[in-house]
Amino acid sequence: MKNLIYKELRLATPLLTFLFLAFSLMTFIPGYPILCGAFFMSFGIFQAYQLGREDNDILYSVLLPVSKRDVVKGKYLSAVILQLAGFALCALFTLIRMRFMADATVYENNFMMNANLIYLAFVLLIFAAFNHIFIGGFFKSAYAVGKPFVIFVVMNFLIIGIAETLHHLPGMGWMNAQDFSLRHIIIFIGAVLVYSTLTTFSCIISQNRFEKIDL
Partner 1 sequence: MKILKIDGLCKNYPSFRLQDVSFSIDSGTIMGFIGRNGAGKTTTLKAIMNMVHAEKGKIEFFGLDMKEHEHEIKQRVGYAGGIIDYYKKKKISKLLEITARFYDNWDADVCQRYMKLFSLDENKTPSQLSEGMKVKLSLVMALSHRAELLILDEPTSGLDPISRDELLEIFLYLKSKGVSILFSTHITSDLDKCADDISYIRGGRIIYTGSIAGFTGSETLEEVMLRQEKEAFREKLDI
> What does the per-residue mask of binding to partner 1 show for 100-129, with x meaning CB under 8 A?
------------------------------
Residue from 28, 40, 60, 201 in contact with partner 1 (CB under 8 A) = 60
Among candidates 86, 75, 84, 22, which has minimal Cα distance to 48?
Answer: 75
Determine, following the binding rule CB under 8 A, whether residue 65 of this chain makes contact with partner 1. yes
By C-beta, is 7 or 132 nearer to partner 1?
7
By C-beta, is 58 or 117 nearer to partner 1?
58
Residue from 57, 139, 163, 167 in contact with partner 1 (CB under 8 A) = 57
Determine, following the binding rule CB under 8 A, whether residue 64 of this chain makes contact with partner 1. yes
Residue from 15, 169, 170, 214 in contact with partner 1 (CB under 8 A) = 214
* Whole-angstrom distance, CA of residue 38 vs CA of residue 94: 13
Q: How far is the CB of 22 from partner 1 (least distance, A)?
A: 25
> What does the per-residue mask of binding to partner 1 show for 11-50, with x meaning CB under 8 A?
x---------------------------------------
Sites of contact with partner 1 (CB under 8 A) = 3, 6-7, 10-11, 55-57, 59-60, 62-68, 70, 211-215
